[in-house]
Amino acid sequence: MLFPKFPLRLPCTLAIACLALSSAHTKTIGQIQPAQAITTQRIAALPAAQADAWARYLARSQTAMAKDKAALAQERSALSEIPPLPEGGAGEKSMPLERDASWYASGPALAVAAHILSFQTPAGGWGKNQARDGPPRRLGQSYVANNRSKFLTPGDYDTPDNGGWNYVGTIDNDATITEIRFLAKVIHALEPGPTAIYRDSVIKGLRYLLAAQFPNGGWPQVWPLQGGYHDAFTINDNAVVAVAQLLGEVAQGTPDFAFVPAALRHEAQLASQRAIEALLASQLLIQGQPALWAQQYDAVTLEPSSARNYEPAALCSAESATILVFLMRLPQPDAQAIRAVHNGVALLRRLAIEGKAWRKVSEQDGRLLVEAPGAPTLWARYYDIATLRPVFGDRDKSLHDDVADISLERRNGYAWYSTVPHQALELYALWSRRYPAAQ
């Protein structure tokens, strides 16, 4: 293992401040604290062996960001007018990955590919929330669309540390991962025709992912590092799992990635394995047993971390279920992975909510958890690590144990309950026959 599994502990820096948890009538049970960025000061406090690896990682990030900014500044130096920001939109929908193979050699597909090529950052990544079926990037245009939250207030955890430099290279919302996969399909469809420009872009993108991997095997949400919660080891939106799956396919030389050089495929294999080890090591322990995962972790300490104002450091059911599915699909899981799955599924079953539905009840009250006999099993998104009770955050950074106590905007605008873990339980029914729990 790259690092030991850490026991459950609740230091004062954790995002859940655990105020008055014993009171069933307290509407606010805590305050969500800010995540910490990766800094030279924090790295200097690490043991020498760890500090060296992290210092090199931070320097690599800083160099990459400087090159990204310098390239854009150079483009703009001769312009009398800076182009407007690119339009935002649904990136994944504009880069379909399930079409017939021949479609990826068509005019519409190649237009998407041209857009993708034009918006790749010098570091090799892509931004998020941007439709790829629009016009290519103009000289001097920003690399990413506007991803600033419209709810920003002073002290908001989502405020970019670098002003307008926001999500310039990210794996959030499957960005970078989807662009690489789309270009790989174009290459496969065009071969043996001219594919060099697409190959170069995919290889640059893969090297970007390898450069962004933490010394401990995880990935940040944004790289080059942006600061704040974006520097966290990010399991949210299945980020680490999605990158590990992609690199695993590259390592295997699947048809879409058969063109990748052997040396790079080997690097991808090592990175994917390190990611698996990182996921296993970050599984939280409850009463000494592997349980579930947090949504993100402090990259340096591997303690569960907060993210946006309303996202606490807590067990996260949906992302945990996705990790469990990923582990169950490993071709040769080791004993630790097998134990992780059995214990994780056991806790998901324990936390399941029956006879309830999460739905809109009225314009005035918005979405609420209501009685619904026979409704599909639900899980809260977050569970407090100490009490295993559902918890809910609000934009003012307050933490609650009743979803009805948070603002109407946050109740309606976030998936506080879901059925996502069903997939893990269904797969487990088959997987557990092959890998029964140790007696």
- Residue labelled with tokens 């970019």: 160
Residue whose C-alpha is closest to residue 378's, from 317, 428, 325, 429: 317
Q: Which residue has tokens 């794996």?
A: 171
Complete DSSP assignment for 318-348: HHHHHHHHHHHT-SS--HHHHHHHHHHHHHH
Angle at 230 between CA 86 and CA 158, to 5 degrees: 70
Question: Any idea what DSSP says for residue 2?
Answer: -
Catalytic residues: 173, 308
Instruction: Give the pair of three-digit tokens for residue 189.
Output: 């469809």
- Phi and psi torsions of 304, nearest 5°: -55, 140
Contact (Cβ atoms closer than 8 angstroms) between residue 121 and residue 168: yes
Strand-pair category, 392-393 with 398-400: antiparallel
DSSP class of residue 96 equals -
Give me the phi and psi of 76, to 5 degrees please.
Answer: -80, -15
Q: Are strands 296-297 and 366-371 parallel, antiparallel or unpaired?
A: unpaired
